[in-house]
């Protein structure tokens, strides 16, 4: 652990401790810091909301990062080898917006950042938390803690690319990942999961900058958090640097960040003590965290910092001049890299071509679709859909560097392990190296998907993360999956053991209602295939151009299912299609998904009340919703037929497609899967009897079910 002590009242360092271009005249430095503090106070007060305290307390950290330590090009925000800055403490987005403006990002004008917390619903980039689509914003970190996992994912991406493509004298990828975090992020479980894995992997390209102000919304954190963060992270395999007086001592901050940047073998924590709301009478209190200071307090701050209280949004020319070097340095670094990349293209043309294709998001190899086995070549007996999905993993992943595949401790159970692949591990461990594309995330489901988001966001289209665990555990990962959908980041989520079919593990592990959540989320595809053929279609759909901006989650069975004669991989993209029965005017349409499709077909064969019946497989509600009204009617025939849905999940959502359902309405139970399907009424015989009874009721009653008539037909079946 390195402790940087104040060497005098200002914490000045010797010339040997920092390069000449980091020596800043004290008066100019103070003007810049005071400008940022007053600007933050004004911006929050303008619309009576926001988070001024972090900006005011951590302004010296921002100066150290943007003016001196980080490598980026404001004139080319997408420069490939730039450092990545991740704001895990997303509520402090004003901190990032101000420095993007001062350092010269053209889109981030003063007028733009003045829209922070404005009532505008369009035209503003200054959202209340940073959003990935705007220049200089690398990832939408969202709720606290996830940004740490995103940063770890980006560090993994950078390490993997460097190990794969760098050659002696031509380091094409050698950037750093800077993650700005606060007290709240370090209390969140996802942050701790990610920190633990980063330490294990020895990601020395990752620097966690901790704004340690010891205050959250409810006040001082010692009311609920008394850990020694520095010692804790040191025990987790991190290099730790402690800095004091982080609100003023720019020299000490620079020394700490510089040491972290050059440290080898471990990720670094720079623990910087700051004063939230610095220069305000609300400093070191909860109200400084997330409230506008108030007109009187803003005036007080300005007087303390020698600014005119009557004038708002002031940025003196000297402050702009102070940051003018950022564009010059960035353009120079970008130009030097361009020359290096040109030399690389001549020395290693094949690697260069591969890297360019990946930068452009080109999915290789050409004709990859034909590598998947045809239906006639699939296993003709029964097998779980999790195993059928594994056929694609084994076929495609080894041939395509775009994929990184890993699991939360369930590689074999979820069939995402692929033969002969090096694991992504710290080379010093002897377990693998950084070229590896097989990742052991450990039992860290939330962090796994947060890391996947960081990997996918590193350079969009360059990586497709495959992440797996049991479907029930995707409830742990749900907040990160939601953030992927919001950011339009593609990942493949493998969710096996998807129903009561998990059997003896019991109700704690049997997902009943989770599908309803994922189906309700915008821009995420939950796909539940009926058999091996639909598994091929599921992968084709998830890897197609139409899914380039969409995460997909595959709900896969533990239990074996037959290969059905009516399934068709090409029709999976339509969301639903007829797999049994071809009558043009059916009396009953049965919709089913996943492992229940085969049971639905057997049930249809046993019906006595009607002769004209069809069975529809609906692997994806979202994709069916995107079809034309004509196509939907051609499949469901709901204008003439009674429609019933069969699914061993909760019925929530099925009223949009069906008049009734055979579904779960309780938690599951512990027993072998075959007994459970019978216990809860999903045997073909029991389902046929229920459907006959329901159809006969409507034949006697006359007419057809209307709004509010949706029925759950298995209410008589209970958990015990």
Over residues 57-76, the pLDDT tens digits come to 999 999 999 999 999 999 99
> What is the Rg, in whole angstroms, of the alpha carbon atoms belonging to the chain?
29
Does 525 count as an annotated binding residue?
Answer: no
Residue that is last in its domain, among 279, 305, 332? 332
Question: What is the rounded distance in angstroms from the CA atom of residue 408 to the CA atom of residue 339?
Answer: 41
Question: What is the rounded distance in angstroms from the CA atom of residue 362 to the CA atom of residue 699?
Answer: 56
| pLDDT per position as a tens digit, 246-255 | 999 999 999 9
Does 330 count as an annotated binding residue?
Answer: no
Is the distance from CB of 591 to CB of 576 less than 8 angstroms?
yes
Does 200 count as an annotated binding residue?
Answer: no
3-state secondary structure of 634: helix
Residue 183 lies in a domain: yes
Is the distance from CB of 619 to CB of 537 less than 8 angstroms?
yes
Does 459 count as an annotated binding residue?
Answer: no
pLDDT at residue 640 greater than cutoff 80 = yes
| pLDDT per position as a tens digit, 598-624 | 999 999 999 987 889 999 999 999 999
Among residues 379, 549, 573, which one has the least CA distance to residue 464? Answer: 549
The C-alpha angle with vertex 142 and arms to 140 and 148, in degrees rounded to 5, equals: 80
3-state secondary structure of 383: strand
Q: Can you give the length of the chain in residues?
A: 720
Does 665 count as an annotated binding residue?
Answer: no
At 321, which CATH number?
3.40.50.970
Does 183 count as an annotated binding residue?
Answer: yes
- Write the DSSP string, 22-71: G---HHHHHHHHHHHHHHHHHHHHHTT-S-HHHHHHHHHHHHIIIIII--
Residue 460 lies in a domain: yes
271, 310: one domain: yes
Give the mean pLDDT of 327-343. 98
Is the distance from CB of 16 to CB of 39 less than 8 angstroms?
no
Residue 448 lies in a domain: yes
666, 527: one domain: no
At 683, which CATH number?
3.40.50.920
How many other CB atoms are found less than 10 A from the CB of residue 74? Answer: 25
- Write the DSSP string, 654-679: GGGT-SEEEEE-S---SS-HHHHHHH
Among 583-587, 688-692, 716-720, whose mean pLDDT is lowest? 716-720
| Residue bearing the bigger pLDDT, 3 or 652 | 652
| pLDDT per position as a tens digit, 147-187 | 999 999 999 999 999 999 999 999 999 999 999 999 999 99
605, 651: one domain: yes
pLDDT at residue 18 greater than cutoff 80 = no
Number of domains in the chain: 3
pLDDT of residue 458: 99
- Assign residue 242 a region (left: φ > 0; alpha: ψ between -120 and 50; beta: otherwise): beta
| pLDDT per position as a tens digit, 226-269 | 999 999 999 999 999 999 999 999 999 999 999 999 999 999 99
pLDDT of residue 15: 26
Does 225 count as an annotated binding residue?
Answer: no
DSSP state, residue 282: T
How many other CB atoms are found less than 10 A from the CB of residue 312? Answer: 17
Residue that is last in its domain, among 526, 561, 596? 561
277, 198: one domain: yes
Does 429 count as an annotated binding residue?
Answer: no
- Looking at the DSSP assignment, which residues form a beta bridge with residue 660? 644, 711
Q: Please, which contacts does 671-675 make with residues 24 or more away whose CB atoms are closer than 8 Å?
A: 671/503, 671/504, 672/503, 672/504, 673/500, 673/501, 673/502, 673/503, 673/558, 673/559
Joined tokens for residue 600: 């639905």
Buried b (16+ CB within 10 A) or exposed e, 478-512: bbbbbbbbbbbbbbbbbbbbbbbbbbeeeeebbbb
What pTM did the predictor assign?
0.95
30, 130: one domain: yes
How many other CB atoms are found less than 10 A from the CB of residue 305? Answer: 18
Does 558 count as an annotated binding residue?
Answer: yes
> Taking the alpha carbons of 680, 681, 682, 683 in that order, is the dihedral positive or negative?
positive
Does 497 count as an annotated binding residue?
Answer: yes
**Residue of 188, 445, 647, 689 marked active site:** 445
115, 196: one domain: yes
Is 445 a catalytic site residue? yes
525, 382: one domain: yes
Does 659 count as an annotated binding residue?
Answer: no
Backbone φ, ψ for residue 221 (5° rounding): -75, -15
Does 669 count as an annotated binding residue?
Answer: no
| pLDDT per position as a tens digit, 86-140 | 999 999 999 999 999 999 999 999 999 999 999 988 999 999 999 999 999 999 9
Its domain, for residue 483, covers 368-561
Q: How far is CA 382 from CA 44, 46, 388, 497, 503, in A?
A: 62, 65, 10, 16, 18
Residue 347 lies in a domain: no
Report the run of H or E that residue 215 belongs to, with start and end.
strand 215-216
> Taking the alpha carbons of 222, 225, 231, 234 in that order, is the dihedral positive or negative?
negative
> Taking the alpha carbons of 55, 59, 61, 64 in that order, is the dihedral positive or negative?
positive
248, 149: one domain: yes
């Amino acid at each position: 652990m390195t402790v940087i002590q104040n060497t005098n009242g200002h914490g000045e360092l010797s010339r040997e401790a920092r390069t000449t271009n980091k020596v800043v005249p004290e008066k100019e430095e103070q003007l810049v810091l005071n400008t940022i503090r007053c600007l933050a106070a004004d911006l929050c007060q303008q619309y009576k909301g926001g988070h001024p305290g972090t900006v005011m307390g951590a302004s010296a950290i921002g100066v150290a990062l943007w003016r001196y330590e980080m490598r980026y090009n404001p004139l080319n925000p997408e420069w490939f080898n730039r450092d990545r800055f991740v704001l895990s403490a997303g509520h402090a987005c004003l901190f990032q917006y101000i420095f993007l403006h001062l350092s010269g990002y053209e889109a981030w004008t003063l007028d733009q950042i003045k829209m922070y917390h404005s009532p505008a619903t369009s035209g503003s980039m200054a959202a209340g938390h940073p959003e990935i689509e705007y220049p200089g914003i690398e990832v939408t970190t969202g709720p606290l803690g996830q940004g740490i996992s995103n940063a770890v994912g980006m560090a993994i991406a950078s390490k993997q690319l460097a190990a794969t493509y760098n050659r002696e004298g031509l380091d094409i990828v050698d950037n750093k990942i800077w993650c700005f975090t606060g007290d709240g992020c370090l209390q969140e479980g996802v942050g701790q999961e990610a920190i633990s894995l980063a330490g294990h992997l020895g990601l020395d390209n990752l620097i966690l900058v901790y704004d340690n102000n010891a205050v959250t919304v409810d006040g001082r954190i010692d009311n609920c958090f008394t850990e020694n963060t520095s010692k804790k992270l040191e025990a987790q395999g991190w290099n730790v640097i402690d800095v004091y007086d982080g609100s003023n001592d720019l020299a000490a901050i620079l020394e700490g960040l510089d040491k972290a940047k050059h440290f080898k073998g471990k990720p670094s924590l720079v623990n910087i003590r700051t004063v939230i709301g610095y220069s305000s009478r609300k400093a070191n209190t909860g109200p400084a965290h997330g409230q506008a200071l108030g007109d009187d307090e803003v005036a007080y701050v300005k007087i303390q910092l020698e600014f005119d209280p009557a004038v708002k949004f002031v940025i003196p020319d000297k402050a702009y001049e102070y940051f003018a070097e950022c564009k010059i340095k960035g353009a120079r670094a970008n130009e030097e890299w361009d020359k290096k990349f040109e030399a690389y293209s001549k020395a290693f043309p094949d690697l260069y071509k591969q890297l360019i294709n990946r930068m452009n998001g080109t999915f290789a190899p050409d004709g990859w679709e034909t590598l998947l086995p045809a239906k006639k070549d699939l296993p003709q007996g029964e097998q779980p859909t999790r195993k059928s999905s594994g056929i694609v993993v084994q076929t495609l992943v080894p041939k395509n560097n775009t994929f990184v595949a890993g699991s939360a401790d369930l590689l074999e159970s979820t069939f995402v392990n692929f033969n002969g692949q090096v694991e992504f591990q710290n080379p010093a461990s002897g377990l693998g190296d950084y070229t590896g594309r097989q990742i052991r995330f450990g039992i860290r489901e939330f962090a796994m998907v947060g890391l996947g988001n960081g990997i996918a966001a590193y350079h969009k289209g360059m990586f497709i993360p495959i992440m797996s665990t049991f479907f029930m555990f995707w409830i742990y990962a749900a907040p990160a999956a939601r953030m992927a959908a919001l950011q339009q980041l593609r990942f493949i989520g493998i969710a096996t053991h998807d129903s009561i079919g998990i059997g003896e593990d019991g109700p704690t592990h049997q997902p009943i209602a989770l599908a309803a959540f994922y189906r309700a989320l915008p821009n995420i595809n939950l796909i539940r295939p009926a058999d091996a053929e639909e598994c091929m279609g599921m992968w084709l759909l998830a890897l197609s151009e139409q899914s380039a901006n969409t995460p997909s989650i595959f709900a896969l069975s533990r239990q074996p299912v037959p290969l059905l004669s009516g399934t068709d991989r090409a029709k999976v993209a339509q969301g639903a299609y007829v797999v049994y029965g071809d009558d043009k005017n059916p009396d009953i349409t049965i919709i089913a998904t996943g492992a229940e499709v085969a049971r639905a077909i057997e049930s249809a064969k046993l019906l006595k009340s009607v002769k004209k019946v069809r069975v529809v497989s609906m692997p994806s509600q979202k994709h069916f919703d995107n079809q034309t009204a004509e196509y939907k009617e051609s499949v469901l025939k709901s204008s003439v037929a009674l429609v019933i849905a069969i699914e061993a999940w909760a019925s929530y959502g099925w009223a949009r497609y069906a008049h009734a359902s055979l579904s779960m309405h309780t938690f599951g139970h512990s027993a072998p899967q075959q007994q459970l399907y019978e216990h809860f009424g999903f045997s073909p015989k029991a389902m046929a009897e229920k459907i006959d009874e329901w159809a006969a009721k409507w034949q006697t009653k006359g007419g057809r079910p209307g709004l509010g008539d949706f029925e759950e037909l298995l209410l008589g079946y209970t958990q015990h």
